[in-house]
Structure 1
Amino acid sequence: MRGKHKKKFHVPMRLNVLFFVVFILFSALILRLGMVQIVEGEEFVKELDRTSNTTARIDAPRGLMYDRYGNIVVDNELELSVTYTNPSRSTNSQAMLEIARELEQMIDVETNRIPERDKRDFILMQMTEEERYELVSQDERKELESATEAYQLEVERVSQSAIDALTENDLRVLAIYREMARGYANSPQRIKRGITEEEAHLLSENLDRLPGVDILRDSRRAYTYGDSFRSIFGSTGAIPREQLDYYLSRGYDRSDYVGTSFLELQYEDVLRGQKAVLESITTSGAGGTVDRSTNEREGQRGNDLVLTLDMELQQRVEEIIDAEMRLAGNSFIRDKSAYVVMMDPRTGDILSMAGYLDPAGQDRQSYSDHIGNVNKAFAMGSAVKAASVLTGFQSGVTSPGASFYDRPINLPGTPEKKSVRNHGWVNDRKALEVSSNVYMFEIGMLMAGCHYPNNCNWNSHSIEKAYDQVRYDFSQFGLGAETGIDLPSTSTGLSGERTSGGNLLDLMIGQYDTYTPLQLTQYISTIANDGFRMQPRLVREIREPVSDRDSQGAVIQKFEPTVLNRIDMSETYLNRVQQGLRDVVIGSRGTARGNFVNRPYQLAAKTGTAQVRVQVGEGDFIDGNTQTFVGYAPYENPEVAFAVVVPNVKLDRNGGRQGMAQNIARDMLDSYFEMKEERQGPTPVDEPVLENPDE
């Protein structure tokens, strides 16, 4: 019992000690808080006023692009940029103007793109209040509804002589100020990209008196092989205003540069780098001294793309087109152009996509128009006849081996329809070999219920039904349909009305609806690939960035070939048409026989000539044709399919050079198969071509 009494006596003593210690601690804490807030508070406020902390997120270089053989085709050129960061609290425009005047003495800027409205604003900024009242009187201001209207009137009344009096120095100041004013709060705005070493040194020495101005590491796109494939690579630039909310919601800053077209846009999420974070702390000390410290978290380059492109083949194809265009002379009605797509029919890999455009009456630095292969559509002529024959088989109006008599066809209200020459009795294979129009006309007429010449009972309903069936079957090959290529925007061509029976016949020979060169390539690739339509693709892999430029990083994502559909037609039908395409090259009357004699590769192909009328003046038209040629090789085991389109060539009798599409195809196939034996590698330009995102 005595032990228990002793335990009860010591517990209250321990609690009292604990309470006392806690009391002392809280008293010390309260005393310290009082000292900070009351005694030292004013000093801390002064310290805060002397210290500014600015955090900037700096763009990291975008990912590189490689061709299928590991050659860097889109690189980054490192450079320095001078930027201006506008603080969150609004900066007086006059203060910004003074900074612009200081910068004008240190950097050289272009002044040829300053709009007149900005020059007027610049003049008003430097006017006194009295001078502005001379432009718009007090009485006039009272009659106006708002200060905005008064300002607008001031702008309009700035004299042309005042604008003309602006010196070159004034314009440079204005050019710098414009860029500064375009920026957003707490976000670096590029004033000039690619400053020289001399400019960088001069700026570095004067940054302490240029608030908000800094020099940052930057990069711009560099094209190792000049304009080769460049338009397909796409462009980068400022975020389009209409898409600003979308990008802001995804963590972008307002001043960021993004992919704005084609591959750069399609793979923006992949190519975008991880930004560096730059924290600048500036402290003003006694006597006006300034202490600056910078903390930086390094960024990381974006992921790299491995393309399906063969850059060496691309360069050769471009050279072949250029050579043929030089030989063409004055063969074109107006613009001189040609387009080529080469694709692996088994995988959908785009091996080459080349376009040439020399607009009449324009002095161009580059004749590249590679993107025309996906956004320009043409009537392709007889090149589509393989689809027409298969459509006839599928609809049951004809069958393998069945013949029609090739002779002129005369229908009410329709100009005479005929082949280039009367071929007499032709079956399906012979129709492809000699390119019989009448065979295709017979298919169209029978599908619409017209048994020419004795029982042609087609009507609007049967004609429309035939249109729908033909276009559905054509779309299975990709004609008139989305190709599925990994680009953000492409054309699907144009389809005419479905009312005229005569135009239905034109549709059967490729003279009515229009298609892009890529669609034409997908069509012939589908036939080469035994009826499987593959999705065309430009990117094979996404890889991690590595510092060693001679190697590639680990694969993040590999894109497998994608089958879009298998055409409805049977294997028997398809084999029959494949034989007909081979006859075009080796048949005794084949329309492509002469150009491919003694070639080691086995080619299956189809020629095409679409009649065109091109307007050359007010109400003046010139007749011509668009030359097309499609094919694949080797015949037994196709590994390359292609389409060549040469639009708007003069007629032979008017001086047009015939056979250009076939010439281009022959030379590029020769190059393709020669390169299988020996490759030299692509030839880089002397100096990489640099992109200018501000243009």
Structure 2
Amino acid sequence: MERASKRKKKHHVPTRLNVLFFAVFVLFSVLILRLGVVQIVEGQEFVKELEGTSNTTARIDAPRGLMYDRFGNVVVDNELELSVTYTNPSRSTSADTMLGIARELEQLIDIETDRITERDKQDYILMQMTQEERFDLVSREERNELESVSEEYQLEVERITSDKTEALSETDLRVLAIYREMSRGFANSPQRIKRGITEEEAHKLSENLYRLPGVDILRDSRRNYVYGESLRSVFGSTGTIPREKVDYYLARGYERSDIVGTSFLELQYEDVLRGQKAVVESITHSSGGTVDHTVNERLGQRGNDLVLSVDMELQQSLESIISEEMKKAGNSFILDRAAYAVLMDPRTGDILAMAGFNDPAGQTRETNADHIGNVTKAFEMGSSVKAASVLTGFEAGVAHPGKSFNDRPIRLPSTPEKKSVRNYGWVNDVRALEVSSNVYMFEMAMLMANCNYPNNCNWTNNSVAEAYNEIRYNFSQFGLGSETGIDLPSSSTGLTGGSTIYGNLLDLMIGQYDTYTTLQLAQYISTIANDGLRMQPRLVTEIREPVSNTDEHGAVVQKFEPQVLNRIDMNEQFITRVQQGLRGVMTRGTASSRFANKSYQPAGKTGTAQVRVALGTGDDRRFVDGNTQTLVGYAPFNNPEIAFAVVVPNVKLERNGGRQGMAQEIASQALDAYFDMKDVRNGPERAERPILEQPDE
């Protein structure tokens, strides 16, 4: 019975497979039949329907995200505007066609001509010449000697003289300016011809778009700097995609005509600030004499907003303090009037304010603001780095808390005499900081290079090179000569002196060899104020979703926590000892006249770096001696909440009319303003005329 049952089951399996195969055959037959009907019988109808349907998709730019200061004040806003664009349907569009459109546009919009180059004018003239006229520019013999069409064209361009380009009319120049922008675009990608067209221009264009193929009006926006030049350079700029980065942005979903961040915060946070474009799809269907028009729109969204660490009221106060001090300085500078200052929270790395002033000699500029100079310009900082020097000596074992050296002139072979401002005699580490003893730093540097001056000096090229490396390594732990980590796409790390001769080693220890930025100086003193923890400086603390009411904040998308970059490899007792010395500078030392009675109990270190500035050229070239004034510090001494660095470069010597104490005066007023604002705040003052960013600024 079991065998019969098994045979019966085996008999049923092939039957089921046959049924399945037959069903599949039937289904495929029906599918093939239907495809035949669609393609052969109804094919023409579908083709007609397709030909009667047009689909146009437009992507409309969304405004970039806003920037707020730490107290919720909008510092970078958007100004809505209209732009006129040209979309080239094909790279094969003739120059004559585009020139015709440019001539029509010239009658409808006003456009600046200051970007036109001499080569643009020459090309424009060639385009309008007949073939015979172009042949007259280059002889037949010359053409026969040329190897390529490009060489022939280049020779034609060279034959267009300045007399001809200068003869172009204002109308020609406006047409050329429009054509120039049109030709810069890419196929099937809208190219902005003019941003911020007037209402009258918009009406004229709207009435004439039907006869201007490829021309359209685009809703656009421009950056609005609510507080004028305050931190303007740090915010950065926006513009069209740089040609060298086109592939990079296209791979990330951008279009060639998009506006992107091109520098500093705008560039650093491009992915955050970029808005989500609105997409408008227009579908037109024609059938049987009727036309159906459907529009599908996906709304865009403004980019995410940035909340900055900056206190705009404090920023404005710092700018005003520096500006007033520069006015008082008069003719105190060797060449350019300049000053830089950074205020930051040593506990978090927050940049509270960062102001720069630069007034180039012999130049007239719209603004003297140079805030970004705090991260891009480096100087010899002088004695303000001596706290790092003392800690380096402690770590190297050539000195210790309480160790004294005899401050007297140092005379080395083939080296100018090295000394302090005066001979202080025997001074310990704290006193050396208070009076800014150079010799104390020299002694440590020599001992690190195996030179016990004057009796047992056995330094060699190797021992000196090792001392250089050790000093620079220790300095880098504070941020001197290394990347600060600030959230900007580019910043300077300063320069290291190239020569490693003996005398320069001594200069390195007193801040007169390598160069540093004002931000590096602020990070260095913040590290000491923060008991050896080096914090990453930051300008952005939060990213938030956009909201329609700019008086409110959206939900937090990302919050940036304070980041510790490193802890310096030095004994806590050493750090505490140096902190005491820095407090002594303000109460008994070189800065006591301004800071001894301050209620907020500051600590700090003064600096005066000797400089020699070259003036003139050729036979008139001469060198003028001066100094760079610096001051670093923090307050309050027992619980630091603000650290500062002030740099005033290239000041004349006092005997030559240079104003002394400018760095100290700026720092004193800045600290006063900070602590006053803890009790009374009035808020920042908006600029009477906010600055609108210019195209491709």
Q: Is it true that 1:460 corresponds to 2:435 in the alignment?
A: no
Deviation at 1:375, TM superposition (A): 1.1
Deviation at 1:130, TM superposition (A): 2.6
Q: Is it true that 1:592 corresponds to 2:594 in the alignment?
A: no
Counterpart-to-counterpart distance in 2, 1:108 and 1:534? 51
Deviation at 1:642, TM superposition (A): 0.4
TM-score (norm 1): 0.92
Residues 279 and 192 of structure 1: is their aligned pair in 2 closer, same or farther, counting only changes over 3 Å?
Answer: farther
Deviation at 1:687, TM superposition (A): 2.2
Instruction: Please provide the CA RMSD for this pair.
Output: 2.6
Tell me the equivalent position of 1:365: 366
Residue correspondence of structure 1 range 554-633 to structure 2 within 5 A: 554-587=555-588, 590-618=589-617, 619-633=621-635
Deviation at 1:37, TM superposition (A): 4.5
| 8 Å Cα contact 1:463/1:498 also seen in 2 | no
Task: Select between 675-684 and 148-157 the one with higher mean Cα deviation.
Answer: 148-157
SS in 2 for 1:486: coil
Tell me the equivalent position of 2:659: 657
Tell me the equivalent position of 2:378: 377
SS in 1 for 2:165: helix
Q: Is it true that 1:428 corresponds to 2:429 in the alignment?
A: yes
Residues 111 and 402 of structure 1: is their aligned pair in 2 closer, same or farther, counting only changes over 3 Å?
Answer: same
| 8 Å Cα contact 1:527/1:574 also seen in 2 | yes
Deviation at 1:156, TM superposition (A): 2.3
Tell me the equivalent position of 1:510: 511
Counterpart-to-counterpart distance in 2, 1:302 and 1:670? 38
Tell me the equivalent position of 2:16: none
Deviation at 1:293, TM superposition (A): 7.2
Tell me the equivalent position of 1:448: 449
* Equivalent of 1:194 in 196, 208, 215: 196
Deviation at 1:315, TM superposition (A): 0.3
Deviation at 1:56, TM superposition (A): 3.3
Residues 411 and 354 of structure 1: is their aligned pair in 2 closer, same or farther, counting only changes over 3 Å?
Answer: same
Deviation at 1:411, TM superposition (A): 1.3
Deviation at 1:131, TM superposition (A): 2.5
| 8 Å Cα contact 1:235/1:693 also seen in 2 | no
Deviation at 1:115, TM superposition (A): 1.2
Residues 392 and 487 of structure 1: is their aligned pair in 2 closer, same or farther, counting only changes over 3 Å?
Answer: same
Residues 466 and 150 of structure 1: is their aligned pair in 2 closer, same or farther, counting only changes over 3 Å?
Answer: closer
Deviation at 1:300, TM superposition (A): 1.1
Deviation at 1:266, TM superposition (A): 0.8
Between Structure 1 and Structure 2, how many residues are aligned? Answer: 672
SS in 2 for 1:305: strand
SS in 2 for 1:677: coil
Deviation at 1:212, TM superposition (A): 1.1
Counterpart-to-counterpart distance in 2, 1:87 and 1:595? 69
Tell me the equivalent position of 2:210: 208
Tell me the equivalent position of 2:671: 669
Q: What amino acid is the match of 1:457? A: N
| 8 Å Cα contact 1:56/1:187 also seen in 2 | no
Tell me the equivalent position of 2:647: 645
Deviation at 1:21, TM superposition (A): 13
Residue correspondence of structure 1 range 224-235 to structure 2 within 5 A: 224-235=226-237
Deviation per residue, 1:332-362 (Å, 9 max, x gap):
0001100000110000000011100001100
Residue correspondence of structure 1 range 216-255 to structure 2 within 5 A: 216-255=218-257
Q: What amino acid is the match of 1:62? A: R
Residues 309 and 387 of structure 1: is their aligned pair in 2 closer, same or farther, counting only changes over 3 Å?
Answer: same
Q: What amino acid is the match of 1:347? A: T
Deviation per residue, 1:240-290 (Å, 9 max, x gap):
222221111111111222111111111111111112223456899999x99
Counterpart-to-counterpart distance in 1, 2:122 and 2:186? 23
| 8 Å Cα contact 1:592/1:662 also seen in 2 | yes
Deviation per residue, 1:577-626 (Å, 9 max, x gap):
11111111112xx1111112432110101110000000012330000000
Deviation at 1:80, TM superposition (A): 0.3
Deviation per residue, 1:386-426 (Å, 9 max, x gap):
11111111111111111111111111111111110111111
| 8 Å Cα contact 1:55/1:186 also seen in 2 | no
Q: What amino acid is the match of 2:156? A: E
Tell me the equivalent position of 2:332: 331
| 8 Å Cα contact 1:400/1:576 also seen in 2 | yes
Q: What amino acid is the match of 1:473? A: N
Q: What amino acid is the match of 1:199? A: E
Tell me the equivalent position of 1:165: 167
Tell me the equivalent position of 2:389: 388
SS in 1 for 2:561: coil
Q: What amino acid is the match of 2:675? A: F
Residues 36 and 167 of structure 1: is their aligned pair in 2 closer, same or farther, counting only changes over 3 Å?
Answer: farther
Counterpart-to-counterpart distance in 2, 1:461 and 1:526? 31
Counterpart-to-counterpart distance in 2, 1:344 and 1:480? 21
Deviation per residue, 1:131-189 (Å, 9 max, x gap):
22333355654443333333223222234443233221121111111111111111111
* Equivalent of 1:687 in 681, 686, 689: 689
Deviation at 1:549, TM superposition (A): 1.0
Tell me the equivalent position of 1:92: 94
* Equivalent of 1:179 in 166, 178, 181: 181
Residues 82 and 281 of structure 1: is their aligned pair in 2 closer, same or farther, counting only changes over 3 Å?
Answer: farther
Q: Is it true that 1:526 corresponds to 2:527 in the alignment?
A: yes
| 8 Å Cα contact 2:518/2:645 also seen in 1 | yes
| 8 Å Cα contact 1:331/1:656 also seen in 2 | yes
SS in 2 for 1:533: strand
* Equivalent of 1:154 in 153, 156, 181: 156
Counterpart-to-counterpart distance in 1, 2:332 and 2:431? 31
Counterpart-to-counterpart distance in 2, 1:147 and 1:283? 48
Task: Select between 663-672 and 685-694 the one with higher mean Cα deviation.
Answer: 685-694
Deviation per residue, 1:647-689 (Å, 9 max, x gap):
0000010000000000000000000000000100010102220
Counterpart-to-counterpart distance in 2, 1:423 and 1:162? 74
| 8 Å Cα contact 1:56/1:186 also seen in 2 | no
| 8 Å Cα contact 1:464/1:498 also seen in 2 | no
Tell me the equivalent position of 1:315: 316
Counterpart-to-counterpart distance in 2, 1:95 and 1:532? 65
- In the alignment, structure 2 segments of 5+ residues that lack a partner are 1-24
- In the alignment, structure 1 segments of 5+ residues that lack a partner are 1-18
Task: Select between 128-137 and 349-358 the one with higher mean Cα deviation.
Answer: 128-137
| 8 Å Cα contact 2:49/2:287 also seen in 1 | no
Residues 625 and 292 of structure 1: is their aligned pair in 2 closer, same or farther, counting only changes over 3 Å?
Answer: farther
Q: What amino acid is the match of 2:308? A: L
| 8 Å Cα contact 1:56/1:188 also seen in 2 | no
SS in 2 for 1:547: coil
| 8 Å Cα contact 2:49/2:286 also seen in 1 | no
Counterpart-to-counterpart distance in 1, 2:304 and 2:417? 59
Tell me the equivalent position of 2:353: 352
Deviation per residue, 1:507-562 (Å, 9 max, x gap):
11111111111111111101100111111111101111111111011101111111
| 8 Å Cα contact 2:195/2:695 also seen in 1 | no
Counterpart-to-counterpart distance in 2, 1:144 and 1:292? 57
SS in 1 for 2:678: helix
Counterpart-to-counterpart distance in 1, 2:652 and 2:170? 51
Q: What amino acid is the match of 1:97? A: L
Residues 337 and 226 of structure 1: is their aligned pair in 2 closer, same or farther, counting only changes over 3 Å?
Answer: same
Q: What amino acid is the match of 2:381? A: M
SS in 1 for 2:379: coil
Task: Select between 592-601 and 651-660 the one with higher mean Cα deviation.
Answer: 592-601
Tell me the equivalent position of 1:535: 536
TM-score (norm 2): 0.92
Residues 419 and 21 of structure 1: is their aligned pair in 2 closer, same or farther, counting only changes over 3 Å?
Answer: closer
Q: What amino acid is the match of 1:592? A: A
